[in-house]
Structure 1
Amino acid sequence: MKKFLKFLKPYRTYIFVSLGLVFLQALSELYLPDLMSDIVNYGIVNGDIGYILRKGELMILIALGGTFAAVVSSYLSAQSSMGFGKMLREEIFTKVENFSLYEFNKFGTASLITRTTNDVNQLQIAVLMGLRMVARAPLMAVGSIVMTVSKDTRLSLIVFVSVFVVLSLVYIFYKTATPIFRAIQKKIDRVNLILRENLTGIRVIRAFNKIDYEKRRFDVANRDLTETSMKVNRLVSGLMPLIMLISNLTFIALIWFGGIRIDRGQMQVGDLMAIIQYVMQIMFSIVMLSMIFVMLPRASASALRIQEVLDEPFKIKDPEKVEEIKDVKGVIEFKNVTFRYPGAEEPVLYDVSFKAEPGKVTAIIGSTGAGKSTILNLILRFYDINEGSILVDGVDIRNLKQENLRSIIGYVPQKALLFSGTVAENIRFGSKNVTDEDIKRAADIAQATEFVSSMMNGFNSEVSQGGVNLSGGQKQRLAIARAVAKKARIYLFDDCFSALDFKTDLKVRTALKKEIKDATVIIVAQRAATIMNADQIIVLHEGKVVGIGTHNELMKYCDVYKDIVSSQISEEELA
């Protein structure tokens, strides 16, 4: 928890003032039973109405002052804890935004969402309770014990025994509950994971009639979380009645032995009443502390999970000595590149070498799993290679800043991803310098203008989250427009024409060829017809380059390419 104190620094003035007000509130609450004791001992016993009124007025003023301190302190504590949560979420979000795919795969999306929301919320509540209760409860407990001893030393021995027993129970609960709370957070991750998979994959689930299966899977995870939560709730539900039982037994003992001492003339009635109130405050303080101890294990588990994210080192980071490309041409060269995914036994790419030049279209084709999309991921430096080098204009991409590298690349992913907002905002997403004219031109090139114009508000029409209000082909065309509007020096198209019909595919590629004729273009494709006219075709098979050349050249000597083409295009069409 100490590592999170930096997030409270901007609110230290609020915190100090809040703690000061908590101290004043505690003093006022400790003073009230003493005043009541005086009223009984000297006012009521002697029948002094004036004394009772004077002390009563003082009690009202002190109670009002304590209430004011409590209200302001609660406000400042809330401001501090909410601000703490806001800054912590920003810190986690910033960290995660800079994660490579290595770190994303390690934590998982569902877990990162839980850590950013649920876990931060647990810490936020812990801070709020800490400022309000952790500061107040010890003051009240210690102050009440001191006042009890000052009223009657012998009777206070009962209080010490009760406090020792209650604190022992709280400690046992803390030690028992901590591992259970850690398990709960992991099981929340599991529930979130299944829920997220169901929400994003609802079409597949319905198409394969797996609704009942997914319900059972969710029920298992949900029941597991419920049972674990019930286990810790049973501990909590058992702790509170025990504390109340000990409190009531303490009151009985105080009244019993206090009555004997009053009967013997060893103490006054007002003092016994004050002691009973102080004991109530002591027990209430311990209950507050026990509530803290209920929250602390969960907050501790959440803090560890958040710290894991914040302490995770970046697998891919910018070099200490950064190189720059002054006049970007966009020449990409792979030199003996070998790459394996984390945890994989065999490389997905082995000794890959090729060169892609500006003004030329380089196409990559191969069977499923050959490593085509992996090549684009490596150019974008989503992963770092194991052997060899990838050069842009002769500079190893590991010596470039990631931001600078990606700023010269226009990327269209295999699965078109759009964000909630307008059509124009999605096209402008690639660069902040995109004008309205650039948006319209990019949409024309991507053959998106026709369907965008038919929408109610044209380019200002809203795109739902994930683009669910658009068809697959429409989403791909907007993704292409987003890349084109960026006016990059390098374009990477990852099988992004698959959802287009052949006529639209041809139109898009023809328009693209004119618009980005001076840029380096790399196209990953499954359809041979899409890349037959490429200047250079790279054929991958089981992670190795088995052929490089034009369509006609590869048809002469590359058996793998011939098999791919013949499986898709008839001899008559080829002729």
Structure 2
Amino acid sequence: MIRSLAKHINGFKKDSILTPVFMLLEVAMEMVIPLLMASIIDDGVEAGNIHHIYTIGIWMVLAACVSLIAGVLGGKFGARASTGFARNLRKAMYENIQTFSFSNIDKFSTAGLVTRLTTDVTNMQNAYQMILRMCTRAPASLICAMAMSFFINARLACVYLIAVIVLGCCLFLIMSRTTKYFQQVFHRYDDLNASIQENINGIRVVKAYVREDYENKKFTKASGNVYKMFVKAESILTLNAPLMQFTVYSCILLISWFGAKMIVNSTFTTGELMSMLTYCMNILMSLMMLSFVFVMITMSYASAQRISEVLNEKSDIVNPENPVMKVSDGSIVFDHVDFAYKKNSEEPVLKDINLAIRPGETIGIIGGTGSAKSSLVNLISRLYDVTAGSVSVGGVDVRKYDIETLRNEVAVVLQKNVLFSGTILDNLRWGDKNATEEECIRACQLACADEFIQKFPKKYETYIEQGGTNVSGGQKQRLCIARALLKKPKILILDDSTSAVDTATDAKIRRAFAEEIPGTTKLIIAQRISSVQHADRIIVMDDGKINGIGTHDELLETNGIYRDVYESQTSGGDFDENGGER
């Protein structure tokens, strides 16, 4: 874990090295100042030597200035190193997420990934800065102050040693108790983010069903869980301050008591006593800083594990060593294909699929909910890999293709249509970033989208809100189809992507496909018989298996499932020759 995180310090190694260097310089100057102060008191004030007071005073000012400058520079370089480290982590996580296959993405929740990119990275940033500054300063200050104290008076310094041991044991007990709460709190953050995301995404449904109170209660519960975990941890951490104050004041009293007796017996000087009291504060404040460092490291350890999970997750779909860089045609062959979303699944989703599709053929796919229609077509563009058997496109196993080459030739309009914030043209050019406006218009005409775009005041410069919330479901589907057509693919897959389109428009889209892109292999998943009845062949899926293949007329005669669906959809009327309802 540490190794996977440490490599993201690249670009900020210099700052990461300079920070502890300047922190050590700051500590060195702070340790010198009490000695100079003792010299002023003993050799200057008590001896009446004004020249000595001036000379040592100048050295004290210089030491303080060097300490100040070193502290400022340490803070500057530490801030640059920690923020740079956080930037690199976010970038690396985001870039790695982009490489994930669908099966990799399924391992993480959306809310969990958001928490990792925000809260967890912020915790790592704070922890890294603490490690560079406090983890250098606190131990160095503690060791140096203890060494100087023993140098001045070993017997009196034993008070510090006892205090450090007692305080260290108490802090260890506190930290061990709080660790488990901090490790649990980030899972509560995931629940909180999930509640927020779900509510915002579905705000229209929430308002339509007047469920604001229910959503408020759900958020309050998630927020309350985070609150409770932090309260439990912080209530234990609050023992830090009184424990530290008790130890500090006890040490001051003991040092003052024993030191005063030693001064009376002429075995100790006033300046040395002042130095010991100063080192007392340095030692105990160093312990307090270490306790805060331990708290931050404890919090960040859970974050570091969660970040490492994302960074170390490798896509299970990768390019072969010598990938095929060209798809010759749109033929598709399924050869004894089995598929399961999880490797250890008891039963595969797809079972022994054997299918051959010719280039330019139009294939309809129909079946009940959960019959694995979408799973079947997801294997063609290698969004998932088969569990057994093989899928070939253009006569080549899809696992031998360069992934980008394959997916550029297989356009998929997914069941969940997604539009991004930007103009209509911006969204269309996701299909082809170099497409001209004329090409975009032509694609929209084929998808029957141009007719409603022309009614917008700004036409193709109309701004689409995030998720396409300012267009209807049918308009969104047609824009997504146009976007896919701009890729000029050899295979076009429409995964129930005309469900929100009226049957007349659906018929127009299919007719345009037949006339304008006859060489493109078209796979149309649909719930309506009218959407597939004019296909060259229709595949009937049932429980992950192919139940029947044939034309519309053939299946009406030979396939019970297809006939039942047809009769249920035509019981209230029949279909015209174009597939539209009369």
TM-score (norm 2): 0.94
Q: Contact between 1:325 and 1:393, CA under 8 Å: does it hold in 2?
A: no
Q: What is the deviation of 1:536?
A: 1.3
- Please give the alpha-carbon distance, in whole angstroms, between the structure 2 residues aligned to 1:100 and 1:238: 48
Matched, 1:398 2:399: yes
Which residue type is aligned with residue 249 of structure 1?
A: S
Return closer, same or farther for 1:450/1:66 CA change in 2, 3 Å cut-off.
farther
- Please give the alpha-carbon distance, in whole angstroms, between the structure 1 residues aligned to 2:3 and 2:314: 20
Q: Contact between 2:423 and 2:460, CA under 8 Å: does it hold in 1?
A: yes
Partner of 2:238: 237
Q: Contact between 1:445 and 1:508, CA under 8 Å: does it hold in 2?
A: yes
Partner of 1:384: 385
- Please give the alpha-carbon distance, in whole angstroms, between the structure 1 residues aligned to 2:516 and 2:244: 77
Return closer, same or farther for 1:572/1:245 CA change in 2, 3 Å cut-off.
closer
Q: Contact between 1:356 and 1:522, CA under 8 Å: does it hold in 2?
A: no
Partner of 2:579: none
Partner of 2:328: 328
Q: Contact between 2:327 and 2:409, CA under 8 Å: does it hold in 1?
A: no
Partner of 1:516: 517
Q: What is the deviation of 1:290?
A: 0.7
Partner of 2:417: 416
Q: What is the deviation of 1:393?
A: 1.5
Partner of 1:159: 160
Aligned residues: 574
Gaps of 5+ in 1: none
Alignment of 1:491-530 (within 5 A): 491-530=492-531
- Please give the alpha-carbon distance, in whole angstroms, between the structure 2 residues aligned to 1:454 and 1:571: 34
Alignment of 1:36-75 (within 5 A): 36-75=37-76
Matched, 1:296 2:305: no
Post-superposition Cα deviations, 1:329-375, rounded to whole Å, max 9, x if no partner, equal 11011122222332654333222222222222111011111111111
- Please give the alpha-carbon distance, in whole angstroms, between the structure 2 residues aligned to 1:574 and 1:199: 41
Q: Contact between 2:413 and 2:497, CA under 8 Å: does it hold in 1?
A: yes
Q: What is the deviation of 1:209?
A: 4.3
Q: What is the deviation of 1:570?
A: 4.3
- Please give the alpha-carbon distance, in whole angstroms, between the structure 1 residues aligned to 2:511 and 2:304: 55
Partner of 1:256: 257
Partner of 1:113: 114
Q: What is the deviation of 1:572?
A: 5.9
Alignment of 1:187-198 (within 5 A): 187-198=188-199
- Please give the alpha-carbon distance, in whole angstroms, between the structure 2 residues aligned to 1:14 and 1:455: 54
Q: Contact between 2:326 and 2:405, CA under 8 Å: does it hold in 1?
A: no
Q: What is the deviation of 1:18?
A: 2.1
Alignment of 1:304-319 (within 5 A): 304-319=305-320
Return closer, same or farther for 1:2/1:177 CA change in 2, 3 Å cut-off.
farther
Partner of 1:341: 341
- Please give the alpha-carbon distance, in whole angstroms, between the structure 1 residues aligned to 2:6 and 2:327: 46
- Please give the alpha-carbon distance, in whole angstroms, between the structure 1 residues aligned to 2:201 and 2:345: 27
Moved more, 4-13 or 271-280: 4-13
- Please give the alpha-carbon distance, in whole angstroms, between the structure 2 residues aligned to 1:2 and 1:434: 44
Aligned residue for 1:135, secondary structure, equals helix
Alignment of 1:70-469 (within 5 A): 70-320=71-321, 322-324=322-324, 326=326, 328-342=328-342, 344-469=345-470
Which residue type is aligned with residue 481 of structure 1?
A: A
- Please give the alpha-carbon distance, in whole angstroms, between the structure 1 residues aligned to 2:105 and 2:302: 21
Aligned residue for 2:415, secondary structure, equals coil
Return closer, same or farther for 1:457/1:129 CA change in 2, 3 Å cut-off.
farther
Alignment of 1:535-574 (within 5 A): 535-570=536-571, 573-574=574-575
Q: What is the deviation of 1:519?
A: 0.8
Which residue type is aligned with residue 294 of structure 1?
A: V
Moved more, 404-413 or 205-214: 205-214
Q: Contact between 1:434 and 1:486, CA under 8 Å: does it hold in 2?
A: no
Q: Contact between 1:339 and 1:349, CA under 8 Å: does it hold in 2?
A: yes
Q: Contact between 2:366 and 2:526, CA under 8 Å: does it hold in 1?
A: yes
Q: Quick one: percent identity of the two aligned structures?
A: 37
Partner of 1:7: 8
- Please give the alpha-carbon distance, in whole angstroms, between the structure 1 residues aligned to 2:106 and 2:389: 24
Moved more, 444-453 or 371-380: 444-453
- Please give the alpha-carbon distance, in whole angstroms, between the structure 2 residues aligned to 1:258 and 1:454: 92
Q: What is the deviation of 1:323?
A: 4.4
Q: What is the deviation of 1:416?
A: 0.9
Q: What is the deviation of 1:456?
A: 4.7
Gaps of 5+ in 2: 577-582
Aligned Cα root-mean-square deviation (Å)? 2.0
